[in-house]
Structure 1
């Protein structure tokens, strides 16, 4: 698996990754995380991915020459408690569902931990959807993260997690 810097040309591919994740979650009745509508064609989602593509923090995991996942790192979201020390924050993580089981997300999170260490940050944080069956929180825990603090954005339940790089 190769991890490379994301670029504006990747915007449609990243939107499609989110589309595949939304379709999969919806098919499982787990719609609380990202809803039921595809990201492609949604102006707000397109603007968000465009910002990431220009931020310098977007990375794409390529598997056998095909883009399989995306991670975005940078400053923490404003809805979480600020970190008490230098950190790197995972702003977004998505895997194209065609590559489920290929460890794409785990590999991208390991890259983020290495990147945090290289930047001199002793903390890697991420937040995620904590509703429904809790499987997303459990996934991050399986990747070495520890629960730090529950929070909510309106009705959306979230969990802030951290990991030492």
Structure 2
């Protein structure tokens, strides 16, 4: 089923974005966002990104740790985006020297396709960069799907620097950007969030 586009009279680029810690009740929405993104990526970009079944147990574990957030267009609205912000990176991907630098690591970054092109991903990424800086990190990092050139272009267009592609990993394209001490405009935290 194709979701209808939002009302064109309402432009989410000028609406506040509300970020909150995900809760177990969000799990079906997170799984749906990922499935929708995987189908779109396969169709539009020919990438197998996220083609494996969603791991609900892993999703719940990240929620329990307070690492996954959702973003909505109203304080208690439906999630239109999500990401996980971790305090450590994978030693399979990042070198010991890189892991020694203060950084935060973004994963499972997904935006509802109905809101594509409305700047929600950019704002949520800016929020993650600001949260990383608040936690004392100098860098925000991501490992993204290696064969998804469009995703690599997306990150580069938003100020991320390609570090390298780690051999032997489907999601080994490594990107980083400086953490930003300035809070992004129109992004509000709805409730207490983990640093």
What TM-score do you get using the length of structure 1 for normalisation?
A: 0.86
Residue 152 (structure 2) aligns with: 137
In structure 2, the gaps of 5 or more residues are: 1-16, 180-195
Residue 77 (structure 1) aligns with: 90
Residue 48 (structure 1) aligns with: 58
Residue 42 (structure 1) aligns with: none
In structure 1, the gaps of 5 or more residues are: 40-44
More strand by percentage: 1
Report how far residue 130 of structure 1 moved: 2.4
Cα distance between partner residues in 2 of 1:25 and 1:163 = 24
Deviations 1:84-135 (CA, angstroms, capped at 9, x unpaired)? 3111111221112122112221111111110111011111111101215x11
Root mean square deviation, CA, Å: 1.8
Partner of 1:28, secondary structure, is helix
Give the number of aligned pairs. 157
Task: Check whether the contact 1:146–1:162 (CA below 8 A) recurs between aligned residues.
Answer: yes
Task: Check whether the contact 1:18–1:38 (CA below 8 A) recurs between aligned residues.
Answer: no
Residue 168 (structure 2) aligns with: 153
Q: How does 1:62-141 map to 2 (within 5 A)?
A: 62-64=72-74, 65-74=77-86, 75-82=88-95, 83=98, 84-132=100-148, 134-141=149-156
* Structure with bigger gyration radius: 2
Deviations 1:53-107 (CA, angstroms, capped at 9, x unpaired)? 1121111110242210001011213421142311111122111212211222111
Partner of 2:131, secondary structure, is helix
Task: Check whether the contact 1:6–1:53 (CA below 8 A) recurs between aligned residues.
Answer: yes
Cα distance between partner residues in 2 of 1:17 and 1:163 = 25
The 1:72–1:119 alpha-carbon spacing in structure 2 relative to 1, beyond 3 Å, is same
